[in-house]
């Protein structure tokens, strides 16, 4: 209500964006999209922020085709790094590795030390292709740039698993889980433990993850795969 009451001035744009964000979190995505369509935009930066917000709300609603159109339209205006990354992640959801690679490499062309883009590309190649050596090189560089990121530690563990280096994979995945008990990290660590011949430890890891995240699809899916 307070955000919506701001109708003009220097706080107008940010307050309207916050209103849309809150509506989205309240699962009132359609109202959020209508609000974003009505915001008066005064700069290219604001155009990009609205575009990204609309795309992310559409992704949350699984309206992937519409989200892709929004990102495509925004990127016709300017090659914005955040929009490129958002479109790449949508491409990953759609299984379009060509989009993921194209957009992440476009980011890296301008910013070769972008750890987030290096990690995202490396993880995608490790998870969705057999280009494991290339994936390892990308993730290794990302980890050098940001050694405390649980996301990147998880990616390193995952690519080592794909390379058959199970003991090393477990080490990195445990480091990632120590930083954050994230469902994806838990699912990965449990899988590698199971494959390495330690199903009891795997189950303990999964159970611990489910205590914190009872409905985590990633953990439930991997349990179903190994214990159908």
CB atoms within 10 A of CB 117: 25
Tokens encoding 59 = 């992704």
Judge whether residue 228 has pLDDT over 80. Answer: no
3-state secondary structure of 56: helix
Provide the mean pLDDT of the chain.
Answer: 94
- pLDDT tens profile 29-74: 999 999 999 988 888 888 899 999 999 999 999 999 999 999 999 9
Per-residue pLDDT, 209: 96
Kindly report which listed range (1-10, 61-70, 151-160) carries the lowest average pLDDT score: 1-10
**Helices 44-60 and 64-77, axial angle in degrees (round to 10):** 170
Task: Report d(CA 165, CA 153) in Å as an integer.
Answer: 15
Question: Could you tell me if 34 and 64 are in contact, meaning their C-beta atoms sit under 8 angstroms apart?
Answer: no
Eight-class DSSP state of 129:
S
Per-residue pLDDT, 19: 92
Mean pLDDT of 110-135: 97
**pLDDT, greater one: 5 or 106:** 106
- pLDDT tens profile 125-146: 999 999 999 999 999 999 999 9
């Amino acid at each position: 209500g307070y955000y919506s009451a701001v109708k003009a001035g220097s706080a107008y744009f940010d307050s309207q964006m916050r209103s849309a964000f809150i509506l989205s979190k309240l699962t009132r995505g359609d109202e959020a999209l209508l609000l974003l369509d009505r915001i008066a935009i005064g700069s290219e930066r604001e155009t990009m922020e609205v575009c990204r917000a609309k795309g992310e709300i559409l992704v949350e609603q699984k309206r992937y085709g519409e989200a892709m159109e929004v990102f495509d339209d925004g990127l016709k205006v300017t090659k914005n790094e955040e929009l490129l990354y958002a479109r790449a992640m949508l491409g990953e959801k759609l299984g379009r590795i060509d989009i993921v690679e194209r957009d992440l490499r476009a980011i890296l062309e301008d910013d070769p030390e972008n750890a987030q883009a290096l990690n995202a590309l490396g993880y995608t190649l490790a998870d969705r292709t057999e280009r494991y050596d290339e994936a390892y090189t990308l993730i290794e560089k990302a980890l050098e740039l940001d050694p405390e990121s649980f996301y990147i530690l998880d990616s390193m563990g995952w690519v080592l698993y794909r390379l058959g280096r199970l003991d090393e994979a477990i080490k990195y995945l445990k480091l990632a889980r120590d930083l954050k008990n994230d469902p994806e990290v838990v699912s990965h660590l449990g899988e590698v433990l199971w494959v390495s011949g330690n199903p009891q430890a795997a189950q303990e890891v999964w159970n611990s993850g489910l205590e914190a995240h009872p409905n985590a699809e990633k953990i439930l899916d991997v349990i179903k795969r190994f214990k159908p």
